[in-house]
Amino acid sequence: MYIDTLAKQIFSRFLFVTSSPTALLTGRTTDPLPVYPPGIGPALFDGSTNCTFPAPEISFNPSKYVGTQSSPAIWYQLAASHHPYEEGCSCTYAKYAGSPTNNGSILLENFCTRTNGTEKLTSSVLRVADSVEERFGVGSYRVQVGRHAAGECGDKSPNYVVSKVYMDEGDGPYQIAVVGQQNFGGWFLLSRKREIPRSNVDRYLKDIASLGFDLSKPYSLTEQGPSCPEPKL
């Protein structure tokens, strides 16, 4: 059943903002970033693994999140918690397409640009996000990352949960998404647009903390400026 995640300290129930020069990573923007301790958000505790998972967006609709193989949805990374495999990355984005087998899985191709001397090199990694057991909710996926170990929560539980989405007026595709990981250990802020106002980003960051993610830990904004290469089609 869904339970509320507990903040590690009592004061974590109260959000505050400070400047955080330590929350900067190589290859990312260098603006001071707000710091938000985790709030209390909806979650699912799994007794079989002793892990806690973010609850997915209520009424999540995969068709508004992914595209097709001929026209995949492109999501740009605006911000993220610290992930070692992203060190030095900029202009990060991903292409999302539904699996041709129509089994609920997503074909996911990540792109990252790194600077090698004076040359910018863009590389990609193709992955599959498999849907998991229904008890975790629609919007919860298991992303296979090469031959990496399953991790502390096993290989059947989600490590990619669409925790919150934002959309324009009407019934169009989602425009902004928050993706969370098991035990609230990591998160990503994604956008259909490469660049959005910083004031909007700060508002989304506050929402991420309210969901239960700890933004007093290192995180960064991802470079998405005009020098970034256009997505590969």
Cα–Cα distance for residue pair 99/82, rounded to 1 Å: 29
Answer yes or no: is 70 within a domain: yes
Answer yes or no: is 110 within a domain: yes
Nearest in space to 141 (alpha carbons), one of 103, 93, 173: 103
Label residue 126 by pLDDT band (50, 70, 90).
Answer: confident
106-110 — which CB contacts under 8 Å span 24+ positions?
106/62, 106/66, 106/141, 107/69, 107/72, 108/143, 109/72
Query: How confident is the model at residue 149, as a pLDDT?
Result: 54
Answer yes or no: is 231 within a domain: no
Cα–Cα distance for residue pair 187/128, rounded to 1 Å: 18
Query: How confident is the model at residue 118, as a pLDDT?
Result: 59
Q: Residues of the chain with pLDDT > 90: what percent?
A: 64
Cα–Cα distance for residue pair 128/145, rounded to 1 Å: 8
Nearest in space to 3 (alpha carbons), one of 47, 34, 60: 47
Distance of CA 91 to the CA centre of its chain: 15
Query: How confident is the model at residue 148, as a pLDDT?
Result: 57
Domain that holds residue 197: 2-220
Nearest in space to 217 (alpha carbons), one of 94, 37, 45: 37
Answer yes or no: is 229 within a domain: no
Answer yes or no: is 227 within a domain: no
Among 79-83, 97-101, 148-152, the minimum mean pLDDT is found in 148-152
What total number of domains does the chain contain?
Answer: 1
Answer yes or no: is 203 within a domain: yes
More confident call, 144 vs 79: 79
Q: Please name the helix (run of DSSP H) or strand (run of DSSP E) that holds residue 199, with its range, or none.
A: helix 198-210
Phi, psi of 34 (to 5 degrees): -70, 150
77, two tokens:
């990374």
Answer yes or no: is 175 within a domain: yes
Answer yes or no: is 210 within a domain: yes
Taking the C-alpha atoms of 31, 35, 38 and 41 in order, what is their torsion angle to the nearest 10 degrees? -50
Query: How confident is the model at residue 87, as a pLDDT?
Result: 87
Q: Which CATH number characterizes residue 160's domain? A: 2.40.128.20
Q: Please name the helix (run of DSSP H) or strand (run of DSSP E) that holds residue 221, with its range, or none.
A: strand 219-221
Query: How confident is the model at residue 196, as a pLDDT?
Result: 93
Q: Residues of the chain with pLDDT > 70: what percent?
A: 82
Residues 6+ apart with CB under 8 A from 18: 34, 35
pLDDT digits (tens, 9 = 90+) for 170-223: 678 999 999 999 999 999 999 999 999 999 999 999 999 999 999 999 999 999
